[in-house]
Amino acid sequence: MIGIIDYRAGNLTSVVRALNHLGESCRISDDPITLAQSSHIIFPGVGAAGEAMANLRRTHLDKWIIEWAHAEKPILGICLGTQIIFDYSEENDVQCLGLIPGAVKRFSTNLTHDGSDLKIPHMGWNYVEFRKAHPVFRGLPEGSEFYFVHSYYPVPAQNDLIVGITDYGTSFCAALAYKNVVAVQFHPEKSGRPGLTILSNFCRWGG
């Protein structure tokens, strides 16, 4: 059973639909006791870091996620979920879970490409260059692109945590792995077949 953490951060049903399509059973919950029965945890989310952290603290899910990760069970962060597992986010100037050393920064407003200003949020399909082999990112065709929607991006304190990088006027970390934690800035549930491959790999990964 895959547990999906519900912390009132956007619509989580697209993750459920993708998992159903893959034949994985899953449930959305905000209850630590229910979530604790899972084999794997997905930490998705769309929204702002400040409100997300407030909701996690209110439901004590913040402590529970840290315990889960420290028990070395597999956890996958997606988009806002990825940002929240860092120490700190510039969005709403908020302290986050601190599972991964590093910070989340806002895209600079003066990014350009070929002389044109780049728009923020970074929204659409972009290429991820995978620099390191990892079981969760196995079997992706060369040239695979993924769907992004975000204005902030993660900056891990240690470069060796970075698995994949993406270019949007600046290079940023789009995928990372640290022990039993994997995290992506893009939306695998909306990234066609390559995205489904990542979700499927994660469900089979022992952490």
- Interface residues with other proteins (CB under 8 A) are 10-11, 13-14, 17-18, 20-21, 46-47, 113, 116-127, 141-145, 147, 149, 167-168, 189-196
Task: Report the residue number, 50 or 121, with the smaller CB distance to other proteins.
Answer: 121
Q: Which H/E stretch holds residue 189?
A: none
**Residue of 79, 96, 173, 203 marked active site:** 79
| Residue 122 is a catalytic residue | no
Q: Which of 26, 40, 150, 189 is catalytic?
A: 189
Q: Least distance (Å) from other proteins to the CB of residue 100?
A: 24
* Least Cβ distance, residue 186 to other proteins (angstroms): 12
State the virtual CA torsion across 154, 160, 161, 162 in degrees, nearest 10: 60
| 149 phi/psi in degrees, rounded to 5 | -150, 100
79 a catalytic residue: yes
State which residue, 180 or 197, has the beta carbon closest to other proteins. Answer: 197
Between 102 and 188, CB nearer to other proteins: 188
* Contact status, residue 49 vs residue 59, Cβ threshold 8 Å: no
**Per residue in 29-42, is it b (16+ CB within 10 Å) or e — as a string?**
bbebeebeebebbb
Which DSSP symbol is given to 31? -
Residue closer to other proteins by CB (options 7, 147) is: 147
Asked if 99 and 181 touch (Cβ cutoff 8 Å), the reply is yes
State the nearest-atom distance from the C-beta of 167 to other proteins, in Å.
Answer: 6
Beta carbons of 198 and 184 less than 8 angstroms apart: yes
133 vs 161: CA distance, rounded Å: 12
Shortest gap between Cβ of 146 and other proteins (angstroms)? 10
Phi, psi of 194 (to 5 degrees): -60, -35
Query: Looking at beta carbons only, is 121 or 206 nearer to other proteins?
Result: 121
Q: C-beta of 71: minimal distance to other proteins in Å?
A: 31
Which residues carry out catalysis? 79, 187, 189
